[in-house]
A and B are shown apart, each in its own frame.
Chain A
């Protein structure tokens, strides 16, 4: 029914890369939030979020990104979003979040 959401985590000396697969919506958002905040709080490193296989995100998911960014900044680190699909990048532009996040 739903794509659901899964993720993989890779760690290097300078950053943690989280790759998202599936959809972030109200059904998957709590798992997504738990995972992302745990990575931020445990690793305290720069975070790269690869969205190549992220097919859908809603305002709930965008809010979680914003929350994670606030946490990351507490550790003086940054979040970089990569490989956003056009439909997802459009939401960042509409909401002005493209100016808040580093998008590559």
Chain B
């Protein structure tokens, strides 16, 4: 995985109407990195699934959550952060089975539960960039 060249941060309220904004930003960023159209759709879906889950559970501490896009030569790494440290392992295997399955299938690396200071992270490699 290459060194991070740029970092883009998106801060969104815990509101459903802004999840589409995350998809728009993701789409533009992936397009700029050279992902093909199908992969852009995949990354959009995965990122949107996490946003939807965060919005549905909300936060007692913070008004907003942050999506950090770490862009390197051939990899997009996406990390979710929030002031509310209780937001860990936000997905459960029962109710969120479809979402977990979709995220794992569409992204290359997924860290759904973490002991780090972020909520979760996932990454996608740009194919064909040798």
Contact = CB atoms under 8 A, between A and B. Distances in A.
B102 A94 contact: yes
Interface residues of A, number: 19
Interface string B43-80: 01100110110011000000000000000000000000
**Interface size bracket, B side:** 20 to 34
Nearest to A28: B16
Contacts of A34: none
A58 interface: yes
Interface of B: 16-21, 23, 38, 41-42, 44-45, 48-49, 51-52, 55-56, 96, 98-99, 101-102, 105-106
9 contacts: A1-B17, A1-B18, A3-B20, A25-B48, A27-B17, A58-B45, A59-B52, A90-B41, A94-B105
